Amino acid sequence: MASESRQLSERIDRPATEVYEYASNPANLPRWAPGLGSSVENVDGQWYVETTTGRVGFAFVPRNEFGVLDHDVTLPSGETVYNPMRVIRDGSACEVVFTLRRLPGMSDEDFARDAQLVAADLTRLKHVLESTGREA
């Protein structure tokens, strides 16, 4: 169980449905979330992301109308990390919220570094979607 968590968010000036559609497609991850990994691959319906520590499994919760983008990341060790994430409507825009959980034994420095990586990924998602003016 995580001993600490931190909510990181980014307001995106695009409709929540558009942000959800783009962000929920694992094929788009390298474009907006290179902090997670550099490339993705779908093998027999399972998504894998290439990271600096090796290939990890990646799976979103089933598609839903509530903007829930929770996902499991299965590390090379076999450990699975659950990551809560939401796209929340805000008029014609939205807010994307990611809950970063501190893993057991994680140092303050590693937790801070992970928070910076997630924040950078959310900012990149904002720039990708706002710069295109529509779904990227």
The rounded mean pLDDT for the chain is 92
Q: 3-state DSSP call for residue 129? A: helix
Task: Write down the pLDDT at residue 52.
Answer: 83
Q: How far apart are the first and last CA of the chain?
A: 36
User: Cα separation of 69 and 86, whole Å?
Assistant: 5
Task: Write down the pLDDT at residue 135.
Answer: 45
89 pLDDT above the threshold of 60: yes
The count of structural domains within the chain is 1
Length of the chain: 136
Task: Write down the pLDDT at residue 96.
Answer: 98
If you average pLDDT over residues 98-104, what whole number do you get?
93
User: Cα separation of 66 and 135, whole Å?
Assistant: 19
The domain of 115 spans 5-132
pLDDT tens track for 33-75: 987 878 899 999 999 998 888 899 999 999 999 999 999 999 9
Residue 91's CATH number:
3.30.530.20
At 122, the amino acid letter reads L
pTM metric for this prediction: 0.89
2 pLDDT above the threshold of 50: no
132 pLDDT above the threshold of 80: no
Strand partners, 40: 49
Give the pLDDT band (50/70/90) at residue 133: low
